[in-house]
Each structure stands twice: as structure tokens, then as C-alpha cells.
Amino acid sequence: MNDAVLHCESEPSDAEFMRLALQLAEQGRGYVEPNPMVGCVIVRGGKVIGQGFHERFGEAHAEVNALRSCGDPSGATVYVTLEPCCHFGKTPPCTHALIEAGVRRVVVAMGDPFDQVNGGGLTDLQQAGIETVSGVMDAEARELNIAYLKRIQTGRPWCVAKWAMTVDGRIATTIGQSQWITGDESRCDVHQLRGRSDAILVGMGTVLADDPLLTARPAGPRTATRVVFCSRRVPDASSKLIQSARDIPLLLIASESLGDESLNPLEQLGATVFRCGTADPVEGVREAVAHLGSLGMTNVIVEGGGELLGSFVQSGQIDEYHVYMGAKVFGGRTAPGPIGGPGFEQLTDAVALRLIRTAQIGEDVKLVYRGGC
């Protein structure tokens, strides 16, 4: 069949309906990972006759849910935020469902780089005589699934560094007091972020200082694995993390300097251990992030403390920074800042960031940055 028939130009209304599909897709955040978020809208005669989104991992994809929501989709145009799958996974191929439904045209925001799709979905539709358009609101679709794209293309999760600090850049007073720098509203925002993430990462300094549980309260759609980087010490058996390890996943990232005599008892209490092949904290971070990706994790939060955040910054593993600025000033020459470690000596070596968004949360301000300025 002539490619000119199969590949059509976008129409003025395509962006309007794709925008609705993107809004639907967003509703799957936190529920569908490690799958991508996908939304689908079915239109005939300029009117929406069906819509759906991928609601939960392992369940029906967006296209199937949209087809189920309408009576007769034959001859309709389908708007989907990601190239339809063409392989048998946990569900049958969406391309088969669209072909069998007799749709006339499929408009896709972006292709799926997953190696079992990667253009094959569009090819299947075209070979069945269905007109296709791709690239409608491509940038918005990529932003929606930026973490999924990173994991598929690099094998590593999207890493978010999070900290709270005062207006003058301190994360604690000169004697170490830090609770609370921000207000209740900001802490609620952090718990929502935790509830959509696959892992929460801290160092032993945080464990020893705060004895945290590291859970989302209230619980979100995901139960994050608590991840502790252990270079010289491990959590005490009586700590909240170890005491809850049989109920809430706990992963210890152990330096090669730690022996089995320290780690085996904690494994018997429910913790999982990943043994790094290095004692260098920066290389250990790189190994650990690769390991988290191998576990299928898509979004992880690095909550500190300063030494761990410093190692992540030095290793270049941070994708996004979430900075909560509390309406306080601590002052003090020895009051700590958020990023420890050796730092960068030269200004030209500093990590350049670009501001993505800002928000006022109560009396606090949230700043979100990404690298690649």
C-alpha cells in the first residue's frame, strides 16, 4: 500500500485531542511503573466516543480501556500518547485490538523505544491499512515519561535529589537541629513524592541521627524500597528500618569494606543486601544506581544526608533536584549545607542547572531543577 496513504499529515484538531490523552495518561502516575504512562482518546465526527488510560501495571493498556468504553469504534481516529505495543507481554498486543476494532486512523505522540516495540507498532498498523500520524505533542509526551525513557535507554532509574533548607542554605543549626525547617504543607508534598517512587535513598548518617522509618504517610500507590548506603556501619537491629524489614522492603548498599559478620544478621531479619565491588563512595553510587535499574526501578529519591548527596552529585547521577526552602534563617559559620563531600574546587566544574518550575507551598518555596543547562 502507498506510504502516502499510510503516513498522513496532522490535522488542526489533533493537538486538542492528544492533549486530552496526555491528561488521562497522567492519572496512571505511580500505579503503572515500570510501564510508561499512556492515555488514549477515540474520536469520530469530531466528538470523543471513548477514552481510557493505563491504570495499573499488569492490567489492560490505554487503548484497550478506551475501546471498551465506546460502543462502535469502527472508522474512528485513535489518539494515543505512546506507540501502541505489538508484542505479547502481560497483555496481548494493542495493535491487534486496534486492527480488529476497524479504526481508520491512529495518531501517536511519540514512538516507544522499548526494544520489543520501537517502530513495530506503527508498522503493524500501516500494514493493516490504517493511516498513522506520529509526533503530535511529542515534547509533552516525552516529558510525561521522562523517567521511563531514561530507564529504557540507559538501564538506570530517574534520580531525584530532595532536601529542605533555610533561606540562607542551611539544613541544620550549628548543633544539628533540623526538625522542622519547612512547614506541614511541604512535608505533605514530600510524602506524596515518596508514595509515587520506587525507592528512598539515605546514608547511615541519617539513620543514626533520625532513626527514620522512610515511608509515605499516608501511603501512596507505590511502596518504596528503603535503601541505606552503608560504608563503615550498618543499621542497628533495634532500628525502625530493621524492625520493619519483613513488612516493608529494605535494601542495604554495602561497601566492600563491610564483612558478612555485619550483614548476615540483618539479612536474617529481613533486609536485602547488595554488595558493592568498591569502597569508593562515588563508584559505589554508580554501581548502586545500576543495580536499582536492574530491579526495574523507574523513579528513586535521594534524601541524604549531605555526604550521600555529595557522592551522588560527584558521580553525576542526579537527574532532578527538588529543593524545599523553609521560611527560616539559621546562620552560623558551621551550620551545614545540603551537599557534603569534597565538592568542586573550580567554578567551571560546578553542576549547571536549569529551573523547571517553582511553587509556593504555605510559607515555603519549592524549586525544581534539572541538569543540562
**Spatial distance between the Cα atoms of 28 and 359, rounded to a whole number of angstroms:** 23
Peptide bond preceding 305: is omega within 30 degrees of 0, i.e. cis?
yes
Decide: helix, strand or coil at residue 317.
coil
**Spatial distance between the Cα atoms of 249 and 11, rounded to a whole number of angstroms:** 48
Q: Known binder of ligand: residue 164?
A: yes
Looking at residue 138, the DSSP 8-state letter turns out to be H
**Spatial distance between the Cα atoms of 17 and 24, rounded to a whole number of angstroms:** 11
For the chain, the straight-line distance linking the first and the last C-alpha, in angstroms and rounded, comes to 45
For 366, the grid coordinates are: 519549592
Q: Known binder of ligand: residue 193?
A: no
Q: Known binder of ligand: residue 305?
A: yes
**Spatial distance between the Cα atoms of 106 and 168, rounded to a whole number of angstroms:** 52
Q: Known binder of ligand: residue 363?
A: no
Q: Known binder of ligand: residue 276?
A: no
Q: Which residues pair with 301 in a beta bridge?
A: 160, 200
Identity of the residue numbered 16:
E
Q: Known binder of ligand: residue 355?
A: no
Q: Known binder of ligand: residue 244?
A: no
Q: Known binder of ligand: residue 262?
A: no
Q: Known binder of ligand: residue 50?
A: no
Q: Known binder of ligand: residue 231?
A: yes
**Spatial distance between the Cα atoms of 241 and 136, rounded to a whole number of angstroms:** 46
Q: Known binder of ligand: residue 303?
A: yes
**188 class by beta-carbon count within 10 Å (0-12 exposed, 13-18 middle, 19+ buried):** middle
Q: Known binder of ligand: residue 206?
A: yes
Q: Known binder of ligand: residue 210?
A: yes
Ordered alpha helix ranges (H), 229-363: 240-243, 260-268, 281-294, 306-315
Q: Known binder of ligand: residue 188?
A: no
Please identify which of the residues 9, 26, 55, 63 carries the catalytic annotation.
63
- Taking the CA of residue 353 as centre, how many other CA atoms within 13 Å lie in the half-sphere pointing to its CB? 17
Asked if 55 is an active-site residue, the reply is no
Q: Known binder of ligand: residue 158?
A: no
Q: Which residues are annotated as a binding site for Zn(2+)?
A: 61, 85, 94
Residues placed in the known binding site for substrate: 178, 194, 206, 214, 217, 303
Q: Binding-site residues for NADP(+), please?
A: 164, 180, 210, 231, 305-311
Query: Active-site residues: which are they?
Result: 63
Binding-site residues: 61, 85, 94, 164, 178, 180, 194, 206, 210, 214, 217, 231, 303, 305-311
